[in-house]
Amino acid sequence: MKKMHLFFAFALFISFFAMNSVVFAQNEPVLYFCEKYGRNGEIGVSDRFTVGYLTVMVKSDYALGLDDVAVQYDKYNPRTGDFDFYKKFYFVVDPDMKYVFFARNDESDMEFEEPGFYRVFLLDDNDNTVASALIEIIR
């Protein structure tokens, strides 16, 4: 019986600290994908798409503080087990932005032409990773 009381006292002690800890669901910018961004927001959010043009979304709890950025695609090579450079697109954004989308335009086609697994990065002007995500492209 004494062991049971000791166990409950320990469990209460641990739960007290667990309830007082602060957990943040998002502490860094999040990168994700959709078919397109329209008047009503994101259309077709997923991490699996067919070949074609996609929109890359980035959402943050704070201003990103970026001017010149790049979106880079690296494709998984099953022969080597590594991701190889595939494409890179350059954009200019407002440093105050917390929510931004990168879509097809005259300079950047944002197209995934081949099926496979891709690692997608949002890079700052020094090629440092701001956010990244994985995506699967199928036929």
| 26-61 residue pLDDT tens | 578 999 999 999 999 999 999 999 999 999 999 999
List CB contacts of 41: < 8 A, sequence separation 6 or more.
none
Q: Name the amino acid, one letter, at 73.
A: Y
pLDDT at position 16:
46
Whether the per-residue pLDDT at 14 is higher than 50: the answer is no
pLDDT at position 107:
86
pLDDT at position 2:
59
pLDDT per position as a tens digit, 52-111: 999 999 999 999 999 999 999 999 999 999 999 999 999 999 999 999 999 999 888 999
First to last CA, the chain: 63
Q: Provide the 3-class DSSP secondary structure of residue 138.
A: strand
Q: Check if the beta carbon of residue 44 is closer than 8 Å to that of residue 58.
A: no
- What are residue 8's DSSP bridge partners? none
pLDDT at position 132:
97
pLDDT at position 88:
97
Q: What is the mean pLDDT of residues 112-120?
A: 97
C-alpha dihedral over 49, 53, 59, 65, to 10 degrees?
Answer: 150
pLDDT at position 7:
46
d(CA 34, CA 46): 6
At 81, phi and psi to the nearest 5? 80, 15
Fold type of domain 27-138: Immunoglobulin-like (2.60.40)
Which of 16-20, 117-121, 126-130, 131-135 bottoms out in mean pLDDT, i.e. has the lowest?
Answer: 16-20
Q: Which of 105, 96, 92 is nearest to 55 (CA)?
A: 105
